[in-house]
């Protein structure tokens, strides 16, 4: 039997651990930029143990909710028993379950069941990270992020809206711009209300795993259109776009209260725009001209 080891990682200044074999960590190179020195004795915010054991039966569990959004996104079946949660995950909405995450009420400890693939590890760790950090004014976004002139611009929208495409238009329009993350950046709101966006080990279909961060300059909700046009949203207009773009256990009232507070704090300090756009560099130039000031 292969020996397991606790590997330590730092994302958005949160420490977490993954207990698994060297072979599994080697198969997950996206975590390497975030790995911490072994001498770090800070208490982790959350910890995942990769068991490799079969997926538990749900006979004694109560089904709470099934999240099945876009066809090319995972399906997550959620179950409850006493103070524990069980999340069964498929790779796509209509495909079989391939892994399960069992975690405690505080989301501080999780156990991963099923074949320990990179997909399984990533999804378990994203769930744990999003849930465990929700109480710390932290939001895991579904967003692409460009850093330009030292500031972060976040592009929001449903899968297939064109977030990655619009980010690439910024790279074309502004050669010194950089992609920070293409799908799952982390935003932390400081005590003074300012927000920073951080790279993460999770970045969708575009490999971009950077242990870097920048102040958030603007959030931009995208919509495909036959023209380019941008407008500033009121906070009440922006709120549902932000809520739809962040990860959280929405049937947990305590966690959702923390997410609502974080979103309100983010909106109080950060402008949100709505961009109707074509897939061209002119859309990026228009977005920058309006949102950079």
Query: Which helix (H) or strand (E) segment is 189 a member of?
Result: strand 186-189
Whether 25 shows a pLDDT value over 60: the answer reads yes
Q: How far is CA 254 from the centre of its chain?
A: 20
Question: What pLDDT is stored for residue 121 in this prediction?
Answer: 97
Specify whether the CB–CB gap between 51 and 23 falls below 8 A. no
pLDDT in tens, 201-239: 999 889 999 999 999 999 999 999 999 999 999 999 999
| pLDDT average, residue stretch 240-268 | 91
Nearest alpha-carbon partner for 63 in 78, 75, 74, 76: 78
Domain assignments of the chain as residue spans, ordered by start? 5-136, 139-291
How much of the chain, in percent, has pLDDT values that exceed 90? 85
Question: What pLDDT is stored for residue 204 in this prediction?
Answer: 81
Whether 293 shows a pLDDT value over 90: the answer reads no
CA distance 119 to 98: 9
Instruction: Give me the phi and psi of 143, to 5 degrees please.
Output: -165, 155
Question: What pLDDT is stored for residue 41 in this prediction?
Answer: 63
pLDDT in tens, 273-288: 999 999 999 999 999 9
pLDDT in tens, 41-56: 678 899 999 999 999 9
Instruction: Give the other-Cβ count within 10 Å of 111's Cβ.
Output: 19
**139-291 is classed in which CATH architecture?**
3-Layer(aba) Sandwich (3.40)
Task: Provide the pLDDT confidence category of residue 40 given band limits of 50, 70 and 90.
Answer: low
Specify whether the CB–CB gap between 102 and 128 falls below 8 A. no
Residue scoring higher pLDDT (160 or 132): 132
Whether 150 shows a pLDDT value over 70: the answer reads yes
| pLDDT average, residue stretch 95-114 | 95
Task: Provide the pLDDT confidence category of residue 39 given band limits of 50, 70 and 90.
Answer: low
Task: Provide the pLDDT confidence category of residue 68 given band limits of 50, 70 and 90.
Answer: confident
Whether 20 shows a pLDDT value over 60: the answer reads yes
CA distance 22 to 254: 36
Q: Beta partners for 141?
A: 246
Would you list the DSSP string of 16-69?
EEEEE-HHHHHT-GGGGGGBPPTT--PPPSEEEEE--PPPPP-TTSEEEEEEE-
Question: What pLDDT is stored for residue 1 in this prediction?
Answer: 46
CA distance 8 to 37: 7
Whether 38 shows a pLDDT value over 80: the answer reads no
Block residue for tokens 């919509």: 223
Question: What pLDDT is stored for residue 158 in this prediction?
Answer: 84
- pTM summary value: 0.94
In terms of C-beta density within 10 A (0-12 exposed, 13-18 middle, 19 or more buried), how is residue 108 classed? middle
């Amino acid at each position: 039997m292969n020996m397991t080891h606790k590997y330590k990682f730092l994302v958005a200044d949160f420490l977490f651990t993954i207990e698994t074999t060297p072979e599994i960590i080697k198969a997950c190179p996206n975590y390497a930029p975030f790995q911490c020195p072994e001498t770090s004795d800070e208490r982790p915010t959350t910890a995942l143990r990769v068991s490799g054991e079969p997926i538990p039966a749900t006979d004694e569990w109560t089904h709470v909710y099934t999240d099945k959004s876009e066809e090319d996104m995972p399906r997550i079946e959620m179950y409850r028993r006493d103070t524990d949660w069980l999340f069964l995950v498929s790779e796509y909405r209509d495909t079989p379950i391939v892994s399960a995450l069992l975690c405690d009420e505080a989301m501080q400890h999780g156990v991963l069941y099923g074949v320990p693939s990179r997909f399984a590890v990533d999804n378990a760790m994203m769930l744990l990270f999003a849930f465990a950090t929700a109480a710390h004014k932290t939001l895991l976004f579904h967003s692409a992020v460009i850093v330009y002139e030292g500031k972060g611009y976040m592009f929001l929208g449903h899968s297939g809206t064109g977030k990655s495409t619009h980010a690439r238009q910024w790279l074309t329009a502004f050669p010194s711009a950089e992609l920070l993350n293409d799908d799952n950046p982390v935003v932390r709101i400081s005590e003074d209300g300012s927000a920073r966006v951080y790279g993460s080990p999770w970045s969708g279909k575009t490999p971009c795993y950077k242990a870097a961060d920048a102040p958030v300059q603007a959030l931009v909700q995208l919509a495909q259109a036959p023209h380019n046009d941008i407008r500033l949203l009121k906070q009440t207009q922006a709120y549902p776009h932000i809520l739809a773009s962040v990860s959280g256990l929405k049937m947990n009232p305590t966690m959702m209260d923390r997410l609502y507070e974080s979103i309100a704090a983010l909106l109080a300090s950060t402008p949100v725009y709505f961009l109707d756009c074509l897939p061209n560099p002119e859309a990026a130039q228009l977005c920058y001209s309006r949102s950079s000031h």
